[in-house]
Each structure stands twice: as C-alpha cells, then as structure tokens.
Amino acid sequence: MQYYDFCGVYTNRDAIIEKTKLGRFMQWWQSFIEQMRYTDNPPLESIAFAYAITGDDRLGHKAITLFRSVMPNYIPLGGAKEYYPELDADLSTASACKTLAYTYSFLYPILESSDKKLLFDELRERGGGIIYKETLLGAWWGNSPNSNWNSHLHSGLGLAGLVLMEYDENEAKKWIEVAKKTMIAMLDLAGEEGAGIEGPGYWGFCYRSVQEMVEALKNTSKDNLYFHRFWDRCVDYPLYMMRPDRSGFMNFSDTGDRGLGPSHFYYAVASAKKNGLAQWFGNIIQEQGSPSIWDLLYYDPNVEATPPDNLPTDKFFKSVHISSLRSGWDKDATFFILKGGSNSWSHCHLDLNSFFIDAYGERLVVDPGADQYSLHYFTSVEPALSTSWHNTITVDGADQRQPPRYRMSFDLEEGGDAYCSLSDFASNDDIAMVKGDATTAYGDYFDRFYRDITYLKPNCFVIHDNIRLKEVRTQRHIQWLLHSGFPFVEDKGIIWIQGDKCKLAINTVLPKNHDYKFLNPRVLMKDKTGKGINCLRYIVRNNLIPGMQYYR
C-alpha cells in the first residue's frame, strides 16, 4: 500500500486539472501558477502542489531547491515556552510538520533519497518525535479532546507518521495510532451536536485539523472516519453561530469578529458526505475571498448547494449551552444569542448569561471579542475578559467566578461551580423562549440568577432577570450592562441604540427605582483607532428592594 499520496492528488490529478477550468477557479489558478513561477520564495507546500498538478519540471526544480534551503531545522521548537516552559512542541511545531508532510506528498516522484533522509530525520528529531514523546509524558494537550491544540498537534503527528512509514514503519505506526485515537476521541465527544467549547472561531481551526487526518487515513488505509456521525451534523454549529449578514460569527469568547473560517473544510465535508448544506456554507465563504489549493482539492462540482431556508431558525445546543434565535435566514434578519457554558472552558470570557443582538446587518448589542494575547491574558482577568465588559450582571463590580481553565469535557460541573446551564428552550413561528441559570457563577453574591428570554418574532425581546441576593449586612450594587458599537441616545425616557439602518429601543419595566449612566467606551488594547465600544449601565442597590429581591 502506498502512503505518500495521502491527499489523493496523484490519484485524482485528472479531475483536479478539470476543476481548474471551472469559472470559480480558472482565473485564480492562472494567477497562482504565475506567482509560483516568479515569486522568489513561495510557500513550500504551495509550489510543491503546483508541481504535482502541472508536472512542470521548472516548478519541481524550484520546489526541491526551496525544500533543501530550509532543511534541516525547519521545524520550530519552544515557541510557547513563556506559557508552557516544560514543553518543546507547540502549534507552530505541528504546522511545520504538516507543511513538510504535504511537501513530501506532492514532490514524492522527484525527491531523492538524500532529501527523504533529511525529512525523516527532521520529523523524528524535531517534529512528530517530539509531539509523540510529550504526549506520552502527559502534556496538557495530549488528553484534551475539546482543544484546538490537541487536534492540531496530533494531526501534525499523524501526517508525520504517514511520511515516516517509508523509513521506520514500527515507529510510524505508533505515531499514527496515537493520532487516530485522538481524532476518534474528539469526534466522539462532539458527535451528538457537532459543537465545541472554544467558540465558533477556534472550532473551525480545531476540526479542520481533525479533517486533515481523517482525509489522510481515508486515502491511505481502510479507515474511513467520515462515517462518524459528527460529520453529518457538524455544519449546524457554525451555521447557527453565523451572523445574518454572513460577515462572521457572533464573536463571544475569543472568536474573531470577521470571517467564517476555511471554505475548504466545508468543501471536504460536502464531498465526503454529499452534504449540500456544507457546500452552500463553503460557497458563502468563498464568495468573500479567494480560492486556495485546498479548495481546488476538495471542491466537488457534483454536490448541489442546499441553503438553510427550510431549517428551523432557532436552535439550542445543549452540549455547549448556547441558544441561537433569529427571525429568518435572510441577511436583514434579527439575530440573538444567549450564552451559557462554563468559565473553566478554554478561551472563555467571564460572560455567562450574556446576550448579543444583530438586526438588518448591524451589530446592535455586541461582545468585545478577543483582545491581544499575552501571558497575562491567559493567567489573569484582563479587561476584555472581565464580566463588566459583557452584557450580563455584576455585583459590586466583581467578576463571575473563574476556576482554572482548560477543562475539556462538556460536563458543566467538572470545572467547579462557575457555570451557566440553559434550559426550557421552546420555539415556533411566532415565539421562542430559553432560560439561563448562572447562579453558581455568582455563588458569593446570589442565591439565584435566572435570565429568561422571550423572543416575540420578528424584532422584540423580553429579558426577565430573576435574582435573589444572599442575605448580608451591607449594601450591594447590582449593575445591568449593555454594550454597543453604536451610540446610545436618550429620548423621552427611552434609551435607544442608534444604528445606521435601524435602532433598538431599551425599555425598563422593573424595578422602577434604578439609576443609569453611559460609561466611557471600552477600548481593546489591540484597537489602534481608540474608538471602543459604548456601554450603558443600570444600577440598583439592595437597600431599595424589599426582601433583597431584584427583578428586571
């Protein structure tokens, strides 16, 4: 059995060449080949792919020359020592393993034995060998089946193992088996709903890495993990997290505020499962950008795109405790997310029971999203992670509880008492309802924090917060917070969020005795414009509320 063609490039070369003639690829492909010919230092795997498809000896010679110039010591080690001083392998280690593996696959017919020896040594000494060793020694990512680190490092290990099969079959099989076991564990964990705890942005990176290994196993063995139930429903999570205008995902946690991830992931799913919804999603992403070699490789023109028009507009992901509500699938639809989950999950913010609203293509109630990553960002509570920067409640300005992060199951209680469970979801054509219980995240202050959402379609949301403070002989300051990139405007006792195409009225019903204030904008450290996000604060003190009870 051959192991080198794990992408199926040589097996499917004629079909790939035919795809370069399609309108969606023709112009890009011509430009791509020109770039590969005339750019001094093109990406290694890209020029190797160009050779594999064209058979152009000049491209092959250029690719081999580039390969030899970067070897040995191409694979970086220790890039995350600041975060994990005990480990040498990190995300860049895995990325380099994959690049070398793909280069090997694409250039295989013209690689000399000395080139292969360089590659095998590099993978054993700096790549897969290091990842395998640190997995066995108990690296945190070695058993974290909801983490993008786990999938990325182990897919790098698995692809490196497929390369090593030509040189050291016994060692290679060990690498492949560990990688395969990891991929199955990740698919099993997320199989019921296809969702992930790290937010929709990292979800795409995470499961693209899984898909890389699944594709390679399919092309080199009898193992076809595309039969796993995960792939039948994996498009649901990104679909229901997608903003109506299709510009990106709702950017809670560390999700970026633009982009929908790699189109080729969805094309791969569409091709493997004949999934029209995945094809449609890939097309939506592709319309906003340029194709890549992976789009060309995975795109199947025989799969008909199926839009989500006939799917329910509301969905509750019980595995990750997130509810998505919308008025329709058009770009002007009203869109609402209620976020539950656990504050022990990786890439989380302290934002349980927070909500977000888009309407008519405008982001009316927003989340700050991720800020500049640093050691402090992951080991302390930077402003962008704090509860006061999110659309939820604070007591005396304090944050929600936060246990140590990186708990990696869907069990809310595993990481400690700092979670929000969603329940009581119901939906029809006229109304949708869901309830969040974030009591444990405020266990030092509240005996109860329920947030009930009633969505009166298409554009009215009733938010009922049912809170009971713990008995204490002091005054408490309860802040109800709302954030928007648009200005807040007060008019005749009603506060509005004034967008360019629409506006959102904020009507308070209870309690009657409250103060409000427009706070200074929240400005992310990475925001060079200094514009920031506007904040509205309602404040109630418990000495105004008989029986220590507070309802909004």
Q: Tell me the Ramachandran region of residue 322: left when phi exceeds 0, alpha when psi lies from -120 to 50, beta otherwise.
A: beta
Q: Would you say residue 234 has pLDDT above 90? A: yes
CA–CA dist 449, 303 (Å, integer): 47
Q: What is the largest CA-CA distance in the chain?
A: 84
Distance CA 323, CA 325 (A): 7
Tokens of 419: 């979670």
Question: Residue 550 — pLDDT band, cuts 50, 70, 90?
Answer: very low
Closest CA to 539 of 436, 365, 397, 399: 397
The 10s digit of each residue's pLDDT in 375-386 is 888 888 899 999
Q: What is the pLDDT of residue 529?
A: 79
Q: Give the pLDDT of residue 543.
A: 61
Q: Whole-angstrom Cα distance, residue 8 to residue 417? A: 48
Q: In this structure, how many other beta carbons lie within 10 angstroms of the beta carbon of residue 88? A: 18
Beta bridge partners of 423: 435
CA 75 from chain centre, in angstroms, equals 25
Report cis status (omega within 30 of 0) of the bond before 72.
yes
- pLDDT on residue 163: 98
**Which pLDDT belongs to residue 418?**
96
Long-range contacts of 446-450 (CB under 8 A, 24+ apart): 446/395, 446/470, 449/353, 449/393
Q: Check residue 1 and give its pLDDT.
A: 57
Give per-residue pLDDT as tens, 185-209.
999 999 999 999 999 999 999 999 9
Residue 75 has pLDDT above 90, yes or no: yes
d(CA 133, CA 138): 9
Answer whether 220's CB lies under 8 Å from 336's CB.
Answer: no
DSSP 142: G
Q: What share of the chain is helix, strand, coil (3-state, %, to 5)?
A: 40, 20, 40
Q: What are the tens digits of pLDDT across the range 292-307? A: 999 999 999 999 999 9
Total residue count of the chain as it appears in this document: 552
Is 80 exceeded by the pLDDT of residue 548? no
Tokens of 277: 């919804």
Instruction: Find the mean pLDDT for residues 482-500.
Output: 93
pLDDT of residue 530: 74
Q: What is the pLDDT of residue 307?
A: 98
Cβ burial, residue 41 (10 Å; 0-12/13-18/19+): exposed
**pLDDT at residue 280 above 90?**
yes
Mean pLDDT taken over the chain: 94
Domain 315-551 -> CATH class: mainly beta
- Say whether pLDDT at 546 is over 60: no
Quick check: 312 and 218 in contact, CB under 8 A?
Answer: no
Using 50, 70 and 90 to split pLDDT, how confident is the model at 551? very low
- What's the pLDDT at 405? 75
Q: Which residues on neighbouring strands pair with residue 362, listed in sequence order?
A: 359
Structure confidence by residue, pLDDT tens digits, 4-46: 999 999 999 999 999 999 999 999 999 999 999 999 999 999 9
**186-190, 192-196, 321-325, 536-540: the lowest-pLDDT one:** 536-540
Strands (E) located in 391-524: 393-395, 419-427, 431-437, 446-456, 460-469, 477-484, 488-491, 494-498, 503-506, 515-522
Sheet holding 431-437, edge to edge: 341-342, 419-427, 431-437, 446-456, 460-469, 549-551
Q: Give pLDDT tens digits for 143-171.
A: 888 899 999 999 999 999 999 999 999 99
Q: What is the mean pLDDT of residues 511-539?
A: 86
Q: Which two tokens stand for residue 230?
A: 């995960």
Q: How far apart are CA 424 and CA 430, in angstroms?
A: 17
Quote the pLDDT of residue 269.
Answer: 99
In the chain, where does the domain assigned CATH 2.70.98.70 lie?
315-551
C-alpha to C-alpha distances, 476 to 353, 465, 479, nearest whole angstrom: 20, 17, 10
SS3 assignment, position 160? helix
d(C-alpha 400, C-alpha 391), whole Å: 13
Question: Checking phi first, is residue 174 left (phi over 0); if not, alpha (psi -120 to 50) or beta?
Answer: alpha
Residue 260 or 410, more confident: 260
**What pTM was computed for the model?**
0.95
What tokens appear for 489 in the block?
């405007």
- Rounded to an integer, the average pLDDT of 219-247 is 96
Least confident of 337-346, 412-421, 505-514: 505-514
Q: What percentage of the chain has pLDDT greater than the value 70?
A: 97
**Mean pLDDT within 253-263:** 92
Can you tell me the mean pLDDT for 236-246?
A: 98
pLDDT band at 66 (very low <50, low <70, confident <90, very high): very high
Spatial strand order of the sheet with 503-506 comes to 488-491, 494-498, 503-506
Q: What is the 3-state secondary structure (H, E, C) of 100-169?
A: HHHHHHHHHHHCCHHHHHHHHHHHHHHCHHHHHHHHHCCCHHHHCCCCHHHHHHHHHHHHHHHHHCCCCH
pLDDT digits (tens, 9 = 90+) for 356-368: 999 999 999 998 8
Among the listed residues 260, 268, 276, 256, the one whose alpha carbon sits nearest the alpha carbon of residue 293: 268
Instruction: Say what the pLDDT of residue 20 is.
Output: 98
Q: What is the pLDDT of residue 222?
A: 82
User: Range(s) for CATH 1.50.10.100 in the chain?
Assistant: 13-221
Question: Looking at residue 316, what is its pLDDT?
Answer: 99
Yes or no: say if 3 and 165 are a contact pair by the CB < 8 Å rule.
Answer: yes
For the stretch 35-61, pLDDT in tens is 999 999 999 999 999 999 999 999 999
Q: Which CATH class is domain 13-221?
A: mainly alpha
Of 313 and 372, the one with more pLDDT = 313
Q: How confident is the model at residue 92 (pLDDT cuts 50, 70, 90)?
A: very high
Position 375 scores a pLDDT of 85
Percent of the chain with pLDDT over 90: 83
Mean pLDDT value across residues 279-288: 97
The region of weakest confidence among 138-147, 336-345, 423-432 is 138-147
